[in-house]
Amino acid sequence: MGYDRGSVLVLADDSTNDSSTYLEPKPHVTNHTSYPIRAMPNLCPLIVTKIIAKERVSDGGVNYTNNREECRGSRLVSKNSERKGGQPSGRSVANLPEHTTVNVRQNNLEDLVRVWNQWDSDTRGIFTEKYGDIAHLITIRVDEQLIQAMVRFWDPAYQCFTFNQEDMTPTIEEYAALLRIDNVQFGKIYVKEPKPLTFRRKLVRLTDMTDAWAEKQIKKKNETVCIPWSSLRESALSHPDILKRVNLFALAIYGLVIFPRVLGHLEVAVFDFFERLKQGVNPVPTILAETFRSLSTCRRVGKGRFIGCAQLLNVWILSHFWKVECTPFHMFSKTFAPLEAYLKKEWPKEITEQHWVSVLQNLRAEDITWRAPWIRPSVLLYKCGSQDWVPLLGLWGGVGYAPLLVQRQFLRDNLYQQPEG
């Protein structure tokens, strides 16, 4: 399939049922689901809030200095948007490699799909109630060509994609809506325990196996302590305690899909994180932090393996091309599952990286569904204390997160300031 300059792939939806959807390249389709800023009085606090300029730091985060620059409408800064060879230029990308080669290799998830398919509806219901819709991630096809193309447009200093002149970034609210993880405390984030249990003790507690068994399963891969998924597979499938089965399956998804640092293995940091989930920690900021960190590392070096959650990133970007004339009522229901709806749609296949680059580097504002059709009305986390940004802590590091860069993605939402301390 070829693309003219300025064309984008659009999922057109003329009614509320799935059968009427179709894919086609359309030039600059009017965005029917976003709203002009002037019509949204609730955005006034965003527009008048003083935003301060950011400087690059070595770990992929952002530093802020006082009174550098104010928000200019819906843009944070003015920038040179010229392109060269499919690469963004200007702003902070001058010192970045011109070309990127990113490995998006994923774990083989057939075992997880088989386990899920063998569970009865009661077990699935218990899992979903406890862990949200993360099980849908195991059946989402990752478009490696798309992810590779997207990395080219990632700005590590600003923690956002810049497609042509349009800034976009996954937000906490968007990922929370996709995963439907409702039984957590919104403002409670993951922080590593200062004195966690040993890896062996955690394995014993999760599996009910012996200390000797746990000690034998622990491996070291490239200086990373981990355990093979094959060691946990049987317990996840047939453990006599249904809650143990559910917990082990969720752990596997977090280790193999959401934080796939070591292929075929679950890393010790994932076990630490999983222990905190039981205390009501919101997993989304951590998921987002590791996605941002991996994107920044790959973009700065110009190569490497993407170890963020490729499935969520894939769904996120395509959802912003999900065109609907009007948002169906059922999308506002608490029972509506965005990932399930995504899986029922037909999405582009067999598109080369260069075609995706051509699409992304010519994007215009009217090509994009700024507010994803499945996003729920929610409180927006946009600052921490007196700072107009939020620190996100991942499993292996932290980043700065400034959603005011992408105001158009959360039109009409309320603002929430993270308290200090």
Contact 290, 257 (CB under 8 A): no
Q: In the 8-state DSSP scheme, what is residue 340?
A: H
Mean pLDDT of 276-291: 93
Overall pTM surpassing 0.85 (yes/no): no
Q: What element of type H or E holds 10? A: strand 7-13
Roughly what angle, to the nearest 10 degrees, separates helices 172-179 and 310-319? 100
Whether the pLDDT of residue 70 is over 80: the answer is no
Mean pLDDT of the chain: 77
Q: In the 8-state DSSP scheme, what is residue 397?
A: -
Give the model's pLDDT for residue 326.
52
27-50 per-position pLDDT tens digit = 333 233 332 222 222 322 222 222
Q: What SS3 state is found at 276? A: helix
Mean pLDDT of 192-204: 86
Contact 9, 348 (CB under 8 A): yes
Give the model's pLDDT for residue 88.
46
Separation between Cα atoms, residue 229 and residue 223, nearest integer Å: 18
Q: Which residue has the higher pLDDT, 165 or 420?
A: 165
Q: 97-115 burial string, b = 16+ CB within 10 Å, else e?
A: eeebebebeebebebbeeb
Torsion of CA 21, 23, 24, 29, to 10 degrees: 60
Q: What SS3 state is found at 352? A: coil
Q: Give 44-106 as a DSSP string.
A: HHHHHS----EEE-TTS-EEE-TTS---BTTBSS-----EETTEE-STT-TTS-S--EEE---
Residue 6's pLDDT band (cuts 50, 70, 90): very low
Whether the pLDDT of residue 225 is over 70: the answer is yes
- List the strands of the sheet with 160-163, edge to edge: 154-155, 160-163, 166-168
Mean pLDDT of 145-159: 95
User: Is 157 buried (19+), middle (13-18) or exposed (0-12) by CB count in 10 A?
Assistant: buried
Q: Helices marked H in 334-395 — which ranges?
A: 338-344, 353-361
| ∠ CA 271-277-279, rounded to 5° | 125
81-124 per-position pLDDT tens digit = 333 334 444 455 558 898 889 999 999 999 999 999 999 999 99
Contact 389, 66 (CB under 8 A): no
Q: Give 95-155 as a DSSP string.
A: TS-S--EEE------HHHHHHHHHS-HHHHHHHHHHHTTGGGGGGPPP-HHHHHHHHTTEE
351-360 per-position pLDDT tens digit = 999 999 999 9
Separation between Cα atoms, residue 316 and residue 282, nearest integer Å: 19
Q: What SS3 state is found at 383? A: strand
CB within 8 Å of 300: residues ≥ 6 apart: 60, 96, 97, 156
Assigned token pair, 214: 């746990």
Give the model's pLDDT for residue 418.
58
Contact 311, 215 (CB under 8 A): no
Roughly what angle, to the nearest 10 degrees, separates helices 172-179 and 284-301? 120
Residue 21's pLDDT band (cuts 50, 70, 90): very low
Q: How far is CA 333 from CA 183, 185, 303, 350, in A?
A: 17, 21, 42, 34
Q: Which of 295, 284, 290 is nearest to 155 (CA)?
A: 295
Whether the pLDDT of residue 179 is over 60: the answer is yes
Mean pLDDT of 189-204: 86
